[in-house]
Amino acid sequence: MKIGNKGAILVLSGPSGAGKSTIINAASDEIGEYYFSISTTTRAPRVGEVHGKDYFFVTKEAFEEDIKAGNFLEYAQVHGNYYGTSLKPVREALEEGKLVIFDIDVQGHRLVRAKMNDITTSAFITPPTLKELEKRLRERCTDTDEVITRRIENAKEEIRAVGEYDFTIINDTIAEAAKEFVIVAKAARLKQSREDEEAFIRHWLG
């Protein structure tokens, strides 16, 4: 009986600018089949956005039906449009034995834990210091000073929740952080749900 061949969930959180997507890309060849959870929205696609890659684009009616059916992990209405994390593609990926990766905030991590704790592993990804985070955000040259200030304030709050995560990955260099991420991803796949444990005990006892 093979243990760890079922799907698993890996939640990643950390400040904007911590390098989460860069680390995932650097490690992607070594973590096996995975599904990166993307949001579902009722807003129209922007130029260059692809359905199923950037977002799942759906009608307001379809979104509201899924709310009633309890198919969202979380959702919110922003500027008249719905945004949410649909559980349907997550469940499908788990059935296929994939590692489901969430890149969500501290609040999102708590929601995943509340709903799917026994198959969830989590890691908080952060630069070594707040000073380093600020340096990276400024070097990106993609945000205004106001946005950078807001990101830094958010990071100060988020870091207080680091103890809620199973692992902390310090992104000093991408190569090192990617190596650690591969270890965490493999550990996530080995985590057994209560159902798996009970099945294993039955099998072991013969």
Classified as helix, coil or strand, 99 is: strand
Distance of alpha carbon 205 from alpha carbon 200, whole angstroms:
8
Distance of alpha carbon 88 from alpha carbon 22, whole angstroms:
26
- For residue 4, pLDDT over 70 is answered with no
Residue 54, pLDDT score: 87
Classified as helix, coil or strand, 193 is: coil
- For residue 190, pLDDT over 70 is answered with yes
**pLDDT tens for each residue of 93-149:** 999 999 999 998 898 899 899 988 999 999 999 999 999 999 999 988 877 889 899
Distance of alpha carbon 197 from alpha carbon 164, whole angstroms:
24
Query: Which CATH number among 3.40.50.300, 3.40.630.10, 3.50.50.60, 3.30.63.10 corresponds to the domain 38-96?
Result: 3.30.63.10
Q: What are the boundaries of each domain within the chain?
A: 1-33+99-206, 38-96
Query: Which CATH number among 3.40.50.300, 3.40.50.150, 3.30.750.80, 3.30.930.10 corresponds to the domain 1-33+99-206?
Result: 3.40.50.300
- For residue 186, pLDDT over 90 is answered with yes
Residue 194, pLDDT score: 86
